[in-house]
Structure 1
Amino acid sequence: MHKFLVNMKKNTMLEEDMTDLAATSPIFKDLRNVTVLITGATGLLGSHCVFALLALNALYNANIRVLGLARSRQKAEILFAPFLQSEHLQLVYADLLSDWRIDEKLDYIIHGASATDSSFFVEHPVETIALAVRGTEKMLKLARDKQVRSMVYLSSLEVYGVTNPEASSITEADYGYLDPTSVRSSYSESKRMAESLSAAYYHQYQVPARIVRLSQTFGPGVAYEDNRVFAQFARAVIEEKDIVLRTKGETIRNYCYTKDAVEAIFYILLKGQAGQAYNVANKETAISIREMADLVIEQSGSSKTKLVFDLAENIEKLGYNPTVKIRLNTDKLESLGWQAKTDLTIMFQRLIQSMAADKRD
């Protein structure tokens, strides 16, 4: 067994995914002898990016140095425990908005630090906005000072707002309505502003920033206590409890498997056009929340998990968005050579297996 697999043995599926990605994806073949800064390094996609680069080192002696910015030392030291003595990984423990610095040369930046809990957006809208806007400008200034080769900002499909529900697909130019006075919009509007800053720094200062517009992304590595809808569904199956929806479940959106999303991030980082945004999703996964709940229950084969509705009177207080129907168009990303490979059924199989293993640990 490869040393990287031994080090990563706590989550077998995550290790398999990142090792396979490093071994087989053509986007990694020329990535050698560089330093990459990843913010949000303990987040789902940030940590996957760290692990993918470490796997690349283990497989090919790629000599990639990874700097991971993490707010929680405890979380980072647990997550990256096998690699804390590695010369190729340096963890920087700091809040994104605090006074920290990087003295060494940087080649690439993957900026993934962000608020992710919808209840946080409602309870702390000021902090949500500050983290997105001030945090992204701080990273853009760093990218300018270090004269990086490329930077990606991890944004969200939420920048589209409420789009035309009859639209067959949403390209990077198809924007809908957002209410800026809704506290829930603190996340969506600040993501829009961070994208605008990224484009502005490119046009005014030639900072080579690209924008990654992510659909909801999941797979191995999702924390057992994660409260996003896909994790709630998986947890209900594992615990043999009912899936409880607080809305009618009419929202339709795409999803993307973590491994596919990480590959997309590197395609955009290394081949994308500066100043441009790219949708990241598996376009074949567009499904309503209710249909997805039914799929998970059917797939589980359990008679103990049923779909139950407990409709909330005020969904905004819970941090929920208005009902949207959005199917992301990924032609622009696919023109770079990327393709989504994992369907929704496999995504949930691997998510449930991974979360069940996490629960046992």
Structure 2
Amino acid sequence: MITENQEYLTELKAWSERYQDWDLLRDQSIMVAGATGMIGSSLIDWLMLLNEKKGLNCRVVALGRNAGKARARFGSYWEKPEFVFVEGDINEGIAYDQPIDYLLQAASNTHPLAYSNFPISTITTNVIGTNNLLNYAAEHGAKRVIFLSSVEVYGENRGDTEKFKEDYLGYLDCNTLRAGYPESKRTGEALCQAYLKEKGLDCVILRLSRAFGPTLLTSDSKALSQFLKKGIAHEDIVLKSQGKQQYSYIYSLDAAAAIFFALKHGQSGQAYNVAGSKCDTTLRELAETVARLAGTRVVFDLPDQAEAAGYSTATKALLDTGKIARLGFSADTDLESALTATMRILAALA
């Protein structure tokens, strides 16, 4: 169980010592949607660790669709009074009726095979599910909502910028299967603005770059996730293109830290890019780094039609993080250190 892995706990403790704004969360109720996902589970682990180490007395309300899966993941907390799991599909409503102080919306399909195999739920979770959560937050007195959006809302880089700033507008072909994810994330952001205007709900939007980390799900089909799985198994790293694409990445624990930072320091109604300050790279360089750490090599293999249907067509998607940096936040875990920690922890759990 990852919550018993000492290296993972050390990673969490390191950020908790570095970032000291925890009093905001003292005696608060925090709802986390997408509880068993890569980011959601990191948030919950961190909050429960802070309850233990800092005496914050946070009540964590974890939302997920499968109680059995959640119990296996959060068994260390299951009987603790400050942890509550709520089973249900957010597209159908929220099966909980208590006040909350903060809502963290991390529920979403986030990888290519999910986009192509489950395009309807990809869209509905980001739109209908988000609407249900925002309505719940407005009706139950939430002080702030964090909506996790994506670098993909920017669409294609038109060739007129090196990195996307928050006001950038790129090309996105809405009449494709693959568009369901970025278009629905755009709509989720628009819903945040609508609730801010009509109901006075305080919302902050974080546009995350491609994330990875020790809470990576086995079902994740993103390119880097496949690299990591191959590396941990000491197999050759399979690259399904020439690897010239340039992307920003972020270690999942840095992403979690950014979310907690935004709870206190983000400005309502604003969107902030979140990426690792030392994690911009090409896909080929990324594959080569994982191969070197694993002691294997990179081989090339074109994807099949179903897999390719879920892939992003973006060839350059780098995020400018100056806006959140000016508030005082920097995600500065370097790429190789983050990959090394991720591989060690996942290998220990295999």
TM superposition score category, shorter chain reference? over 0.9
Which of 210, 232, 236 is 1:216 aligned to? 210
User: Aligned-pair distance for 1:60?
Assistant: 1.9
Give the deviation of 1:250 after TM superposition.
Answer: 2.0
Q: State the percentage of identical aligned residues.
A: 33
Distance 1:30 1:144 in 2: 20
- Post-superposition Cα deviations, 1:172-192, rounded to whole Å, max 9, x if no partner, equal 111211100010010010000
8 Å contact from structure 1 (residues 13, 220) kept in 2: no
Question: Are 1:138 and 2:113 matched, yes or no?
Answer: no
Whole-angstrom distance in 1 between the partners of 2:252 and 2:166: 21
Contact 2:51 2:57 in 1 (8 A): yes
Which residue, 13, 32, 35 being the options, matches 1:41?
35
Instruction: Tell me which residue corresponds to 1:3.
Output: none
Q: Which amino acid aligns with 1:114?
A: S
Q: 1:171 aligns with which of 165, 175, 187?
A: 165
Give, in whole Å, the separation in 2 of the partners of 1:67 and 1:333: 27
Let me know the Cα RMSD of the aligned residues: 1.9
Deviations 1:301-355 (A, max 9, x none): x2xx221112247587441111420210111111221111200000110111112
- 2:75 aligned with 1:84: no
Q: Decide which of 14, 18, 24 is 2:8's aligned counterpart.
A: 14
Q: Which runs of 5+ in 1 are unaligned?
A: 1-5
Which deviates further from its counterpart, 290-299 or 223-232? 223-232
2:176 paired residue among 179, 182, 185: 182
Normalising by structure 1, what TM-score?
Answer: 0.92
Structure 1 counterpart of 2:329: 338
Q: Match for 1:73 among 67, 72, 90?
A: 67
Structure 2 alignment gaps of length 5 or more: none
Distance 1:44 1:280, change over 3 A: same
Q: Distance in 1 between matches of 2:180 and 2:267?
A: 28
What is the letter of the counterpart of residue 183 of structure 1?
L
Of the structure 1 ranges 129-138 and 119-128, higher mean CA displacement relative to structure 2 is found in 119-128
1:308 maps to 299
Which of these residues, 326, 350, 360, is aligned with residue 341 of structure 2? 350
1:108 aligns with 2:99: no
Q: Do residues 59 (structure 1) and 53 (structure 2) align?
A: yes
- d(CA) in 2 for partners of 1:345, 1:123: 32
1:195 & 1:78 partners in 2: Cα distance?
Answer: 32
Q: In 2, distance between residues paired with 1:215 and 1:62?
A: 30
SS of residue in 2 equivalent to 1:287: strand
Q: What TM-score do you get using the length of structure 2 for normalisation?
A: 0.95
1:114 and 1:131 in contact (8 A); partners too: yes
Residue pair 1:144, 1:207 contacting (<8 A) in 2 also? yes
The Cα of 1:166 is off from its aligned counterpart by 5.3
Q: Is 1:207 aligned to 2:201, yes or no?
A: yes
Does the C-alpha gap of structure 1 residues 312 and 62 become closer, same or farther in structure 2, counting only changes over 3 Å? closer
Give how far 1:261 is off: 0.8
**What letter corresponds to residue 123 of structure 1 in structure 2?**
N
Please point out which of 311, 321, 328 is paired with 2:319: 328
Question: Matches of 1:30 and 1:149 in 2, distance apart?
Answer: 11
Whether the 8 Å CA contact 1:165–1:326 is kept in 2: the answer is no
Q: Deviations over 1:143-179 (max 9, x none)?
A: 1101211000111111111013452221111121110
Structure 2 CA distance, aligned partners of 1:119 and 1:231?
12
